[in-house]
Amino acid sequence: MGRAPPGAEELTRDRLATILTPEEITRLVGAGIAAAEVPAPQAEPRPKTSWLKMENPAKFDGKNPTAFNQWWESVTMYLGFYPETIDRQKIAWVGTLLSDTALVWHLHQHHELRDNDTWANYAAAIRTEYRNEREAADAQLKLGQLRYQGDIRSYMTEFRALSLYARAMGESLQEKVNLAMPE
């Protein structure tokens, strides 16, 4: 040990014994050991979505209104997989998935709003522009025309998809099943 500065008392065993009792020393040493054994709190691990890669949705050209709703659903599922994506990145990324008239719409939207656009605003605008207003009616018509062709799995897959888009339920849905089944 080095020399104590002038005027400082040397801390000896005898001097320490007069300051702390053996019980206090034991308690302090035990508390120090216990504190050293407790692991430091760690931040909750963040899910590593970057380890998994999702393939981009197909491109949307804006020409087929019946394709928009399904395409948009795949876009929102993709973005849900990458929750930390910020608005500006989402908007730019969706632009990479557009072609033809849909890309022209996107570029116009960007030109008008620049960096003031938000994801909520952009999502509402693209849905307003391209959603198929007749989706439910078209699905209802196809559901009425759907017939069982001997493969129950294929029939049920198509039936569930159409009934989802047709928003059909209850008695009207049961009627569709009854009409589709052969005698």
Tell me the pLDDT tens digit for each residue of 73-90. 999 999 998 888 999 999
Phi, psi of 63 (to 5 degrees): -90, -30
Within 10 Å of residue 167's Cβ, how many Cβ atoms?
11
Residue 165 exposed, middle or buried by CB count within 10 Å (0-12, 13-18, 19+) = buried
User: Would residue 168 count as lying in a domain?
Assistant: yes
Residues 107 and 165 in one domain: no
Residues 62 and 126 in one domain: yes
CA distance 18 to 141: 96
- Per cent of the chain over pLDDT 70 is 74
> pLDDT category, 13, cuts 50, 70, 90?
low
User: Would residue 27 count as lying in a domain?
Assistant: no
Task: Write down the pTM of the prediction.
Answer: 0.57
> pLDDT category, 165, cuts 50, 70, 90?
confident
pLDDT of residue 167 exceeding 90? no
pLDDT of 43: 67
Average confidence (pLDDT) over 12-40: 73
Within 10 Å of residue 34's Cβ, how many Cβ atoms?
9
CA distance 6 to 3: 9
Residues 150 and 173 in one domain: yes
> pLDDT category, 59, cuts 50, 70, 90?
very high
Residues 62 and 122 in one domain: yes
Structural domain boundaries, residue 156: 135-180
Residues 99 and 139 in one domain: no
> pLDDT category, 95, cuts 50, 70, 90?
very high
Residues 79 and 122 in one domain: yes
Residues 123 and 80 in one domain: yes
pLDDT of residue 29 exceeding 70? yes
Of residues 126 and 143, more confidently modeled: 126
CA distance 62 to 35: 64
Q: How many CA atoms lie within 13 A of 153 on its CB side?
A: 0
Residues 65 and 108 in one domain: yes
pLDDT of residue 60 exceeding 90? yes
Tokens of 144: 């009425």
